A and B are shown apart, each in its own frame.
Chain A
Amino acid sequence: MVTLQTVAFAVLCLVAVLRVGSARSNPHARMSWLASVVGALALLTLGSVIPLGVLDGALGGTNLIYLVQNLLATTAFWLVLQAAASQESEDTPHSRRRYWVLGVILVAFSVAFLFIDRGPTSPTFIHDNVDQLAAVLCASIYLAGIGGISLQLMLAVRRRRLVAYWPFVVGGALAIVACINEIVWLFIAHAHAVDARTQALGYALFDPFFYLGVILIVAGILSFTVRKWNRETQMTLAIRQLSRITQRAGLTSATAEDGPATGGPQLSVAYDLLISIHDETVAGRVQLTARERRVLSRAEALVTRELGMAEAR
């Protein structure tokens, strides 16, 4: 399924480009941004964009590209997990154990890979060599790693609002199904338990599950980017409109001095403007026009939506 791989690659590239700005300005966003870059590179190694012969040829034409692909894909999944998990333990120091887990997975399938007697470049390298236990183990360790990380990702977001985090849950589940399916069929092939047609059908299940899972997880990430942009755009507009009211009415907006603001400066500015306008209206110093009242209630709805609604840490 070249198309799904290409779509996933395109989506990851798009996300990486769109989020360059926030990765630069917000250190917390870097993990997930890096995940999209590494993930895009991993998909690039599949050969759907640049021919596999070219890529693997550059590495000596002995399917070393397969190892590179596994290293990149595992790291990308792990980075997404770190981004999601860092929300959970915002105040606790970064756990070293996490790096160990990644390291163990990477080393384990790399060692197995070295034991494979590899032929010339092949897009179905593992399937070609399924008679070798090393090949089956290399792929299985890699897939078990991805599946395990996906499971941890699902667990990391389990207490969050499903309405926003469902793509991570469903995407993670699809990836797990894909990985388990592939491991099972690798062992079936190794044992020559079924005919070639059934075997091919079993293998064919991997791509739709896995790449739809990847696309969903990336869409989940992107949904937060879009959500933030959307709110910030609306807030900028609301602040401009509210300021027009206070200017028209000749108000000095009483804003608290720069204090511990957690909701971003925009929400604070809008909040202060709204309260001042209300105060002046109650005091009878300002009469709002019908249009201004509409602007006020629209802006107020935007701010009220974020009041006391933050997700649990």
Chain B
Amino acid sequence: MTESMWKGGHDIADRCARIFEDNGLGGPRNMEELVTRVSNISGKPVMIEPLGDERWETITALWVSYPASDLVLVRATDTHLYRTHCILHELAHIIYRHPGCSDLASAEVVQSLISDGATVRGRVVNPQAVRVASERSETIEGEAENLARLLGRSLLRPRYAAGEKSFG
């Protein structure tokens, strides 16, 4: 069996469930509503741009936190669903108020995006990178991924959920 890329466990799951509950994250029905909710939580506008491509290699999304706004970048070449999940992962970092990640700031694709005072964090699916990452960083990524999955579930409601509930 291949080792899971994302740190899990009960502690992380419990924290995520609590944050999900406390912030009323089950309310939004689509990405637009969710982004509005997240930017209310962070107090900064959140912009989402499909900017990257396969040259990003194992970076599937980036979160650049500027002093006055948050920018989430995803790869335009990924499928809608995968891209959505990667956005949710970065939104989860914002909700968690996670710090930036200094390792990634030196990466080539990232440097052009960083201006003074910006921090950056990326969703990297690289087993090697995870192994060398610090315990803290692993936890941060595990938290974001776990919360992203809760957010994804919440957005995944059958199209006619209400009708199916009454008439299904």
Contact = CB atoms under 8 A, between A and B. Distances in A.
A250 B81 contact: no
A256 B165 contact: no
Contacts of B3: 252
A117 interface: no
Interface string B54-69: 0000101000000000
B13 A257 contact: yes
A87 B162 contact: yes
B167 A221 contact: yes
Interface in B124-165: 125-127, 145-146, 149-150, 152-165
Contacts of A251: 1-2
A224 B81 contact: no
Q: Is the interface of A mostly helix, strand, loop or mixed?
A: helix
A259 B20 contact: yes
A310 B166 contact: no
A28 B30 contact: no
Nearest to A279: B125
Interface string A13-31: 0000000001000101101
Interface stretch (B4-12, B37-45, B100-108, B110-118): B4-12
Given A257-B8, A304-B80, A310 B161 contact: yes
A273 to B, nearest CB: 11
B168 A311 contact: no
Contacts of A83: 166-167
A308 interface: yes
Interface of A: 22, 26, 28-29, 31-32, 83-84, 86-87, 90, 160-161, 164-165, 220-225, 227-228, 231, 249-252, 254-257, 259-264, 267-268, 271-272, 274-275, 278-280, 282-285, 297, 300, 303-313
A223 B163 CA distance: 10
Interface of B: 1-6, 8, 10, 13-14, 16-17, 20-21, 26, 29-31, 58, 60, 78-82, 84-85, 125-127, 145-146, 149-150, 152-168
A268 B152 CA distance: 8
B166 A262 contact: no
A203 B94 CA distance: 68
A96 B159 CA distance: 30
Given A32-B166, A267-B158, 13 more contacts: A22-B168, A32-B167, A220-B167, A231-B158, A256-B13, A260-B153, A261-B153, A263-B157, A279-B60, A283-B5, A283-B125, A300-B79, A307-B84
Given A32-B167, A283-B58, A310 B157 contact: yes
Contacts of B1: 250-252
Contact of B149 (A227, A272, A285, A305): A272
Given A252-B1, A254-B5, A254-B6, A307 B164 contact: no
